[in-house]
Amino acid sequence: MKILVVGGAGYIGSVTVEQLLAAGHQVVVYDNLLKGHRESVPEAATFVEGDMGDAAALDKLFGQHTFDAVMHFAALSLVGESVTQPDKYFKNNVSNGLVLLDAMGRAGIKKFVFSSTAAVYGEPTEWPIHEDFPHNPTNPYGESKLAFEKVLKWYENAYGLRYATLRYFNAAGATGCCGEDHDPETHLIPLILQVAQGKRDAISMFGDDYPTPDGTCVRDYIHVVDLADAHVRALSILGERSGTFNLGNGTGFSVKQVVEAARKVTGHPIPAKVAPRRAGDPAVLVASSARIREQLGWEPKYPDVETIIADAWRWHQAHPQGYHASAHV
Ligand code: UDP
């Protein structure tokens, strides 16, 4: 298939591009490089710099290529930032997403894979979380993703769009080529690894008074390679139907447990201190991925949190300045 990957120069997008190419698909990456890295795009993919909100640029792109499907990774995804700047999140994640969908409609493209999030569930009271649990986001990031999920449902109803919505839990890890390089970095595992690299003195653990066994937040960390694999598999259903799937390992790790695992992996003492809670953080997010296992035959290959951290650590050691001054190999 020929696939357009919007946001394909970002962390999860770039790993998915690697896997699409390995599976024999043709890939065009469209990315505005505000968050993405040109160096993360493999030679074998065509790269086009552009913004998801630019309808004319998308029409031009769709005039130049005939795509079988579009994958959309081009969202803003920081919980804390979304609380203080909700306008940015609704503009990018909803309005600009609509520009993409409508350009796809003009070009007659009906297959779409959408990166959604566990943040659509808000504060669940039971775990693991199933796809049909109540959707009550506790932050504008989750709300913007949920709004777009609803758009997809109604576009299917009216225009025959077929979508696979993948609700990610906590992506982490790396491949040999592609890893996590955000500026500013806000995610737990890369920040912990910055401590091990001597770039910061300690990791701040946001809150130790949550209703969890050790008081710190519990998350379901999933290897980015396993996430990417789900996207490639999702393409297979889009000829017939749409679907919404959780993507996690089904095991929760607290912030303290992740710090401890990173100490083991890196051999660094990684000093940790308790800091105030971060706005918008639910206490526990752990997935049931039963649906995607049953319907797409997906199975995580790297469910072990130490393996996930070790792969991230290898990438950060090989790229101490992130992608800066490094080329894709
Ligand atoms: N976290 C933390 N210290 C940090 C960054 C994150 O304690 O410096 C916590 C955060 O509050 C959450 C978990 O680590 O409970 C995972 O956060 P991250 O930002 O990596 O992912 P999110 O869950 O927001 O998608």
* Atom of ligand 1 lying closest to residue 172 CA: 20
DSSP code at position 204: E
Cis bond upstream, residue 128 (ω within 30) = yes
DSSP code at position 328: -
* Per-residue pLDDT reduced to its tens digit, 32-68: 999 999 999 999 999 999 999 999 999 999 999 999 9
The pTM of this model reads 0.96
CA distance linking residue 41 with residue 39, whole number of Å: 6
Q: Cβ neighbours of residue 109 under 8 Å, at least 6 residues apart?
A: 62, 67, 68, 69, 70
248 touches 289 (CB < 8 A): yes
Measured from CB, residues less than 6 Å from any atom of ligand 1 are 79, 170, 186-188, 191, 203-206, 217, 219, 255, 278, 281
Q: What is the pLDDT confidence band of residue 295, given thresholds at 50, 70 and 90?
A: very high
* Per-residue pLDDT reduced to its tens digit, 94-106: 999 999 999 999 9
* pLDDT score recorded for residue 325: 55
Partnered with residue 113 across adjacent β-strands are: 71, 164
Q: Where are the beta strands (DSSP E) in 187-227?
A: 203-206, 218-219, 221-223
Mutation to probe ligand 1, out of 89, 187, 216 (largest number of atoms < 8 A from CB): 187
CATH class for domain 2-171+221-248? Answer: alpha beta
Residues serving a catalytic function are 141
Domain ranges for the chain: 2-171+221-248
Strand-pair category, 170-172 with 162-168 = unpaired
Q: How far is the CA of 259 from the centre of ligand 1 (A)?
A: 11
CA atoms within 13 A on the CB side of 30: 24
Residue 329 has pLDDT above 90, yes or no: no
